[in-house]
Amino acid sequence: MKYISILFFSFSLFFFNSSKAQIFTKIEGVNFPSKNIINNNTVVLNGGGLREKYGFVDLYVGGLYLKSKTSDADKIIMADEEMGIRIVIVSSLVSREKFIEALEEGFENTTAGEHTKEQIEKFKKCFTDPFVKNDKVVLNYVPGEGVHLLMNGTKKGTIQGLPFKQALFGIWLGGVPASEDLKSGMLGL
């Protein structure tokens, strides 16, 4: 009887721990958590896709996290609620310098929000380390605080303001996105 009790307890413990296990969604060969926590609120993976250059050079895979799924880019960009973008570098061709150049170009092309030179400079200074394949860049927006930038799980800085978040998310979701395919993927289309 003692062995049956131990066996039952072990099985229950395994089942309980398994039910709390993180579920992942594979996007272009990269695992993305299906859910995430931002500011004590659960956000879900809305969609994701691959950022390519010249139609054949894979650069990074990006995923968009929202409180509830939607394909309305304008609604996402304008929303003052927890959301995030997770970027996983999939190419050794993506350097810190090239990523920053692409962000600068994205800010020039963004069709939403507002940003200042000071905000962009502060944002760029958050990228201190060289990039390597499989690096993870996370941009989490928290209302009243701003965009928190994390690199491989380490917080690198925060840029305040909803208008900055709108401009930043507009890089991927706005009228002139960094990649139409990535935008469609993030919107779950």
pLDDT of residue 13: 41
For residue 4, is it within any domain?
A: no
Q: Find out whether 41 and 68 touch, Cβ atoms under 8 Å.
A: no
* The pLDDT value given to residue 16: 43
Structure tokens at 77: 């960009």
Q: How many CA atoms lie within 13 A of 41 on its CB side?
A: 14
Report residue 175 as tokens. Answer: 């009228």
Between CA 123 and CA 125 the distance in angstroms is 5
Q: Is residue 73 part of a domain?
A: yes
Q: Which residues contact 68 (CB under 8 A, 6 or more apart)?
A: 44
The whole-angstrom distance between residue 42's C-alpha and the CA centroid of its chain comes to 14
The pLDDT assigned to 56 comes to 84
Cα distances from 68 to residues 42, 85, 100, in angstroms, run 9, 14, 30
The structure's pTM equals: 0.88
pLDDT score at 21: 67
User: Which CATH number does the domain housing residue 113 bear?
Assistant: 3.50.70.10
Q: Does a structural domain hold residue 7?
A: no
d(C-alpha 124, C-alpha 79), whole Å: 24
**Of residues 47, 46, 141, 139, the one with CA closest to residue 99:** 139
- Give the domain extent around 77: 22-186
- 127 lies in a domain? yes
Give the count of beta carbons closer than 10 Å to the beta carbon of residue 132: 12
Domain assignment present for residue 93? The answer is yes
pLDDT by position in tens, the chain (length 189): 444 444 344 444 444 444 456 799 999 999 999 999 999 999 999 999 999 988 889 999 999 999 999 999 999 999 999 999 999 999 999 999 999 999 999 999 998 999 999 999 999 999 999 999 999 999 999 999 999 999 999 999 999 999 999 999 999 999 999 999 999 999 998
Q: Which of 187, 160, 189 is nearest to 173 (CA)?
A: 187
Give me 57's structure tokens. Answer: 């050079």
Answer whether residue 65 is part of any domain: yes
**158 part of a folded domain:** yes
Q: How many domains does the chain have?
A: 1
| Within a domain: 9 | no
